[in-house]
Structure 1
Amino acid sequence: MNVLKIFKLFSLILIVTFAGIPSADATNSTAAPGDEQTVSLPEKTKENSTDTKPAPSPISMPSFESGAPRWYPPKMAPAKWEWVELTTGEWLKGTIKVIRHDNMEFDSDNFDTIEIDMKDVLQTYSSTVNTFVFTNQRLVIGVGRITKDQVIIDTAAGKMYYPRQQLISVVVGDRTEFKLWTGTLTAGVSSTSGNTNQTTVNLQANLKRRGAFLRIETNYYGNIGTTNDVTNVQNQQVNLQADLFIYDRFYLIPASFEFYSDIFSNIDTRYKPGVGVGYQFFERSELEWQVNANLLYQRVRYVSTTGNEPPVFESAAFSIGSDLKYDITSDITLHANYTITLAVPATSYLDQQGILKLDVDITKHVSVNSTANWTRIGNPIASSDGVVPDKNDLILTFGVSLDF
């Protein structure tokens, strides 16, 4: 009971912390920068290091010393394009996907998605509505232009000017809730016939919300299989986690939840609600890696037990998880997830899970993939007939995914 009291106290501390975060103020443009990581100013080039005058207007069409006219994007550029000028004088045409952690993800028809250090970006032109995140939890929504020392945003309240060194990130879109969500649906089927008629169906789903400060992700894994019309595989799992970024890469987890069921492991239902903290080590176009630590309450109901075991097991638990996404090439992506959960004080209940998934893009919205899902139950409980389930389960699946 003392462990459960500690769990409740820890939850209360996180809730109080979450409630105390200041609300976004989109009108206060004079607040001093905080300790958050902001974007870099452009590095000085030979051209602008000797020029003490303000940057020329695109309308004036200035010339280089050699006499060649300097090019600027058309004033009435198509709304679907955005322009980025590098400190080298080169221009890129495409779409700014996100600016975060002093890096810009830029999508071009020729280069696909590339990553650019903000110190190499001189200015940007855009005609789309985006969400700009500044220091002190300030959000500004509008059509913005980033110059070498300012961020100029056309908002519903008028034109706003902010120092570039106070910009933390740019999120694509106007924070309309629907635009913040993306998802993936995966289905796979395997079948054998002959001496044994085996059919296995696998279903996976992922739904993710990415906002300026709040990120929510839900995953579903389900498998069902039959041999000669007799069910021999039946398990499913649902994970939900909300991440609230409060300082650069550090975030709170005000809510997490897991549901798991595997009839042939003698687990009818297993629930794990919890809270925790996490840290985003990398968030780049080709690499994402984060680590979480959660304090949980778990409740397991078994399908059946012998007379020596209760039908329900309850305890507090502590878990550590790692989630990695790596783009091997522009079309091949590796996902690796590992979680270890330790029950307290029943430390013999040490559960582990590792998921390895390889995606190969066929089109922009369709991919083929293979998944290896390994689970280990630290202390399997014998069913009423005395059979003890194996500790390890490994499921290999192949499927087709649809991104939306």
Structure 2
Amino acid sequence: MTQGKLSLFSITPIASAILGLSLSFNALANTNQPDAMAGMTLPQDNKYDWLQLTSLEVLKGELKNLYDDKLEFDSDNLDTISIDWEDIKQLKTAQPVSIGFTDLSTKTGILVVKDGQAFLDGQAFDPKNIMTIISGEQKEANYWSNKITLGANFRSGNTDQIDYSAISHNTRRTTESRFNLDYLGNYTKTDNQSTTNNHRINSNFDWFISKQFYLRPIFAEVYIDPFLNLDYKATLGSGLGYNIIDTSKTEWSISGGPAYTYSKYKQVEQDQRQSDGSASFVLETSYETEINKTIDFNTKYRGQFASSDAGGYSHHAIASFEVELTDIFDLDLSFVWDHTNSPQANSQGLIPEQNDYQFIVGFGIDL
């Protein structure tokens, strides 16, 4: 009996030591592995840009740009992805980038972001002062982004009908300014008879005086719609704007200013003027939000207040859902509402409808 007790006491300390050592190793592994990832140093690489997310995931690839707190990164394995700026823990670029700061200054160099600090060619600064980043040197090709959405419908049989629609968004964005050029066109032909043929071009130039405020020295719009009895309607003005919401997921801005509107009509009644000009005021608001990783919702309203001879109050409103199919292609669903309060009667005295509605289904291509 004594010999059995001694054997038991001899084994117990050894088993306890082994159990304690195993628990210590497990605790060390569970504790130190995340710490090691959190404190890791990104590779020194002259070929790839590297970033680490706050989730401690590491990506290599090419930084494209940073606008509105969203970083576009071309991952070596995941293709082009969009990342919230607040989700980035570390960042290191292989080649120089152009940075626009909140004080509207611009600098170029190798960027490193780590532990809440940023360095540009070794010079430390607060990363909160970054407003925009453009990949590479300040070259013209790095400033442009373009998207084209095309839709078509063909019918044959009792009725032969062809529908075309096109939407184009073109933006030139630098660290201090923004230039937009948008186009929306629709054409329908039924039994060799044109029933829809309208085209709208919008353009504006913005100069940022802060992250929220911007001057709009010039904005312009040309609208052609013979079925609205418009040979063309041209508007030219200037104003200012303000970013109400500017986060990584949602943008909401409002802008406006005085303008001059000139309208030339296709047909007019006898003793009526073929054209008319008027002072006007233009108010515009734009809202964009990310519903989830693959669906965005965008809407824009542009209201114009002019004399009744120039059409009175009119507006152009568009709301779109953009569904990402691939990195390049989107499925775009757009609803368009055009309104003219006082349309001009034609030579027979017929007054066009005040409202035009369109629902456009198209495939978008990011260029």
Aligned counterpart, 2:23: none
Q: Structure 1 residue aligned with 2:141, among 171, 178, 201?
A: 178
State whether residues 42 and 92 of structure 2, in contact with CA within 8 Å, keep that contact through their aligned partners in structure 1.
no
| Code of the aligned partner of 2:351 | V
Q: Structure 1 residue aligned with 2:82, among 89, 107, 113?
A: 113
Distance 1:132 1:191, change over 3 A: same
CA distance in 2, matches of 1:111, 1:390: 45
CA distance in 1, matches of 2:266, 2:32: 82
Q: Structure 2 residue aligned with 1:139, among 106, 110, 123?
A: 106
How does 1:90-239 map onto structure 2 within 5 Å? 90=56, 92-94=58-60, 98=65, 103=69, 105=71, 107=73, 109=78, 112-117=81-86, 123-134=90-101, 136-148=103-115, 150-154=117-121, 161-164=123-126, 167-173=129-135, 174-239=137-202
Distance 1:281 1:347, change over 3 A: same
State whether residues 324 and 337 of structure 1, in contact with CA within 8 Å, keep that contact through their aligned partners in structure 2.
yes
User: CA offset at residue 106 of structure 1?
Assistant: 6.1
| Code of the aligned partner of 1:301 | K
Query: Structure 1 stretch 390-399 or stretch 191-200: which is displaced more?
Result: 191-200
User: CA offset at residue 369 of structure 1?
Assistant: 1.6
Structural RMSD (CA): 2.8
- TM-score, structure 2 normalization: 0.81
For the pair shown, the structure with the greater C-alpha radius of gyration is 2
State whether residues 376 and 391 of structure 1, in contact with CA within 8 Å, keep that contact through their aligned partners in structure 2.
yes
Aligned counterpart, 1:83: 51
Aligned counterpart, 1:299: 262
1:215-269 CA-partner distances (Å, limit 9, x unpaired): 1111111111111101111110100011111012110101111000000000001
How does 1:5-404 map onto structure 2 within 5 Å? 72-77=40-45, 79-84=47-52, 86=54, 90=56, 92-94=58-60, 98=65, 103=69, 105=71, 107=73, 109=78, 112-117=81-86, 123-134=90-101, 136-148=103-115, 150-154=117-121, 161-164=123-126, 167-173=129-135, 174-343=137-306, 349-404=312-367
Name the structure with the higher helix share.
2
User: CA offset at residue 344 of structure 1?
Assistant: 5.1
User: CA offset at residue 361 of structure 1?
Assistant: 1.6
| Code of the aligned partner of 2:153 | S
User: CA offset at residue 96 of structure 1?
Assistant: 5.2
State whether residues 144 and 152 of structure 1, in contact with CA within 8 Å, keep that contact through their aligned partners in structure 2.
yes
User: CA offset at residue 350 of structure 1?
Assistant: 0.3
Q: Share of identical aligned residues, percent?
A: 22
CA distance in 2, matches of 1:69, 1:203: 52
| Code of the aligned partner of 1:93 | L
Distance 1:395 1:167, change over 3 A: same
CA distance in 2, matches of 1:131, 1:377: 44
CA distance in 2, matches of 1:226, 1:153: 58
- TM-score, structure 1 normalization: 0.74
**Runs (5+) with no aligned partner, structure 2:** 1-30
